[in-house]
Amino acid sequence: MQLLLATSNEHKLIECGEMLALHGIEVVGLDSLDGSYEEPIEDADTFAGNARLKALAYAKATGKRCMADDSGLSVDVLGGKPGVYSARFAGVGTTREERDSANNALLLSKLQHTSESERSARFVCAMCVADPDGTVVGESEGTFEGVITLEPRGTNGFGYDPLLYVQDAQKTSAEMTSDEKNARSHRGEAVRNIIFCFGQ
């Protein structure tokens, strides 16, 4: 079975692809499609709302069953920010790497006078699977708890991975192998919670 994942983010494709391959599902991204599709405006105020919006829009536009996610970082002392604005928190950068670097720098600057005990945070991932006829087949959510480090650590992953320290693993998300991360991450939990959509 083939599933369209509504993203051009290679890291998300790899993460989801590895997990869904275990269930016989091949994941393809937007870059694999013939033609281009207008990207829906993600204007919902929740991760779940944005995931649903994207899944429905791309399923209808492509005629394919589509899975979409919206994910980000929620920092308690910042009232849940950057939240749904995680990818564009700093508002600068033309490449994903430049945006990630600017977002991480801005987050660290906002937390520079915050003690370690006040740096609790989590990644949140909401997923939605939709069919071309507008049916929402399933929705799920996962979280990945940790604390924000004082400086980036590790080179695996993307986004805020170098900053989220997972205490029971004693490493950041970016220091984990893909197997370690998939077993406990927000996206891994969301995928495990939505696999029922595929008769698994």
Report the catalytic residues: 70
Among the listed residues 176, 158, 157, the one whose alpha carbon sits nearest the alpha carbon of residue 168: 176
DSSP-assigned states of every residue in 30-88: GGGSSS--PPPP---SSHHHHHHHHHHHHHHHHTS-EEEEEEEEEEGGGTT-BGGGGGG
Within 8 A by CB and 6+ apart from 16, the residues are 5, 27, 67, 69, 187, 191
Position of tokens 């207008």?
Answer: 38
User: Could you tell me the two tokens for 88?
Assistant: 């564009």
- Residue 85 CB neighbour total at 10 angstroms: 14
